[in-house]
């Protein structure tokens, strides 16, 4: 599953140890991944690799880059520490580190990375983005500061002192099945012609299965019975946990919520296979394999 499989140990045990974190930031063995406008520095052509810089590499190009605390990503098997650095605010409008690689958007990058690097990247992107949008305390409005290697922000107002933690937003994504057909839908923002399975955020006070049933009914008017969990995927745009399920439809008639979907239809397993084989005559395309939506479809047609 793309965006999973990091081989780093996230090493929660070190995060409370400020001295350990400080020592690693000064350690020449430590390595830094730079994000700029939420894109990531990579090298390579078809197969890509993340570019891991030393602290002096980063500071030579971007003085002041360490004023905002880097996010601790974990340690490798030899004990070397890895961090993410946000170049926004210290870099200009042209990409820094032109001699080291190129900055690419994550969706275009993830499936071309090897050895679990896309999992590291998912953590780095979600965490850096969270800090960008959470500089202030939601309880009292005062400035908050980074602590615990980036895994907590604490309010600077001593009378408040609220602690804030990175978000992970759980989302249900479900292949709705009726006999040998499944339901596909499209949102207006999708690329032309692309259809996918339905999805939606889990709300407070519901189970995974209840969220699947609610979203299926809200978006397409379909009543769902049995729900089976299949697999999950981190999706760092900005920080979703995609919870992939198969859902048995009890009804067939589609009633669209046009705020959510512009079209939806039932399609047979055979037709899904034809589209996967490259047949364009059916007039629709499917998500790329980077997305769990495609994994759910691949699994179903392979059964």
SS3 143: strand
248 forms part of the interface with its own copies (CB under 8 A): no
At a CB cut-off of 8 Å and minimum separation 6, what does 178 contact? 248, 249, 252, 266
Instruction: State in angstroms the smallest separation of the CB of 27 from its own copies.
Output: 22
At a CB cut-off of 8 Å and minimum separation 6, what does 197 contact? 173, 174, 175, 176, 182, 183, 184, 185, 293, 296, 297
The residue among 23 and 241 lying less far from its own copies, judged by its C-beta, is 241
d(CA 52, CA 290): 23
Q: Which runs of consecutive H residues, i.e. helices, occur in the chain?
A: 12-15, 18-25, 55-61, 106-109, 117-132, 208-220, 269-276, 292-302
Instruction: State in angstroms the smallest separation of the CB of 215 from its own copies.
Output: 9
224 forms part of the interface with its own copies (CB under 8 A): no
Q: Applying CB under 8 A, which of residues 119, 149, 185, 287 lies at the interface with its own copies?
A: 119
127 forms part of the interface with its own copies (CB under 8 A): yes
Q: How many residues bind its own copies (CB under 8 A)?
A: 62
70 forms part of the interface with its own copies (CB under 8 A): no
Q: Applying CB under 8 A, which of residues 145, 165, 237, 265 lies at the interface with its own copies?
A: 165
The residue among 79 and 179 lying less far from its own copies, judged by its C-beta, is 79
152 forms part of the interface with its own copies (CB under 8 A): no
81-86/31-36 β-pairing:
parallel
Q: Applying CB under 8 A, which of residues 4, 100, 102, 111 lies at the interface with its own copies?
A: 4
């Amino acid at each position: 599953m793309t965006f999973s499989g990091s081989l780093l140990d996230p090493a929660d045990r070190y995060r409370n140890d400020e001295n350990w974190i400080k020592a690693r930031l000064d350690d020449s063995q430590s390595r830094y991944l730079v994000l700029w406008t939420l894109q990531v520095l990579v090298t390579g052509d078809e197969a890509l690799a993340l570019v891991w810089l030393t602290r002096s590499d980063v500071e030579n190009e971007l003085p002041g880059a360490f004023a905002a605390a880097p996010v601790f990503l974990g340690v490798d098997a030899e004990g070397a520490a890895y961090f993410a650095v946000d170049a926004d605010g210290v870099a200009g409008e042209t990409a820094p580190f032109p001699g080291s690689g190129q900055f690419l958007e994550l969706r275009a990058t993830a499936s071309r990375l090897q050895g679990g690097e896309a999992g590291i990247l998912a953590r780095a992107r979600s965490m850096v983005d969270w800090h960008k949008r959470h500089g202030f305390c939601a309880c009292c409005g005062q400035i908050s500061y980074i602590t615990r290697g980036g895994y907590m922000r604490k309010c600077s107002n001593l009378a408040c002192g609220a602690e804030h933690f990175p978000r992970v937003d759980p989302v249900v994504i479900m292949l709705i099945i009726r006999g040998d057909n499944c339901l596909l839908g499209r949102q207006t923002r999708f690329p032309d012609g692309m259809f996918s399975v339905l999805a939606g955020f889990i709300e407070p006070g519901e189970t995974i299965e209840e969220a699947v049933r609610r979203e299926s009914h809200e978006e397409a008017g379909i009543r769902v019975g049995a729900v089976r969990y299949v697999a999950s995927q981190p999706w760092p745009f900005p920080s979703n946990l995609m919870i992939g399920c198969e859902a048995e439809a009890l009804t067939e008639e589609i009633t669209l919520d046009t705020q959510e979907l512009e079209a939806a239809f039932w399609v047979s397993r055979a037709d899904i296979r034809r589209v996967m084989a490259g047949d364009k005559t059916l007039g629709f395309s499917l998500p790329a394999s980077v997305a769990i939506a495609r994994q759910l479809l691949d699994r179903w047609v392979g059964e």
